[in-house]
Structure 1
């Protein structure tokens, strides 16, 4: 894992994830729940922004939608060769992913916010650099094979929470760094 100081961008870097009470985020390449409100929340939150994700997450989206996320630039972090359409870019390392996302944010989307949308390895690698986390807390303990990495909750403060039946939308902002 890279040191957080090596991962620099002028954009706000925001992790977005749905995670169960037992830290499960996936099972067999998919989410182990179906919460339409969460899918809508993800779409509305990430629309018109670059989204960094790993290859497995990207392929799952392609399988579900038949295309990369519409209205967003997808940055696929992978060491494997991968053919992508115009609104998707392959990056072979974290620095390349952040550079591609920052370029897309400025030139294509006119924003200073970049989202990180998984999977577990990508979250783990970019957690130290995140400015914000937008979490759908799923109040359940499903079986799964993919978990959200352990994160230092003391480094973040909760800034908003909206409770719903069986889940909550929660936003966390990183506390000021003292280094």
Structure 2
């Protein structure tokens, strides 16, 4: 795989994640909480957009829903050979994933926004190329085996926040890059 810093997306690249105060995002391949409002927020935010994710995240969605995310094109970043339905595509590296997502954004969804939806390794690989982060900040410290990578908050500025009971929806935009 190439270095993520070489990625130059032609679209807005947005990470979307639910993360606890202790940076936990998963436990045993699942989220260690159940927040229906977060699931609704994820759906509302990503519908009609391509979503890049790793194989484990994709398989977790298949197990939960019986199909890939409806109303979105799923790009599965994996080195494994997977059979996918029409609204899912396998990509073996970052460039192929981004290319497939950008093509789906133009041809299927009429948008210029692509989402990155995990897991931890996928977030880490795309982190330096993200223009925005849409974060559900879960005000808890659950046990977990998967953590969101260190993302350098100083590189982003908070542009929107909606506090709820026990969590907050927050959007961060990347600060202007210093050349």
Answer whether contact 1:52 1:118 (CA < 8 A) is retained.
yes
Deviations 1:31-66 (A, max 9, x none): 000000000000000000000000000000000000
Answer whether contact 2:105 2:114 (CA < 8 A) is retained.
yes
CA distance in 2, matches of 1:5, 1:88: 25
CA distance in 2, matches of 1:2, 1:81: 20
TM-score, normalisation: structure 1:
0.98
Q: CA deviation at 1:2?
A: 4.7
- RMSD of Structure 2 on Structure 1 (CA): 0.9
Name the counterpart of 1:157: 157
TM-score, normalisation: structure 2:
0.98
Structure 2 unaligned regions, length at least 5? none
CA distance in 2, matches of 1:53, 1:20: 19
Structure 1 unaligned regions, length at least 5? none
Name the counterpart of 2:173: 173
Q: CA deviation at 1:5?
A: 4.0
Q: CA deviation at 1:3?
A: 4.0
Name the counterpart of 1:30: 30
CA distance in 1, matches of 2:4, 2:74: 22
CA distance in 2, matches of 1:109, 1:93: 22
The 3-state SS of whatever aligns with 1:108 is helix
Name the counterpart of 1:114: 114
Q: How many pairs are equivalent?
A: 179
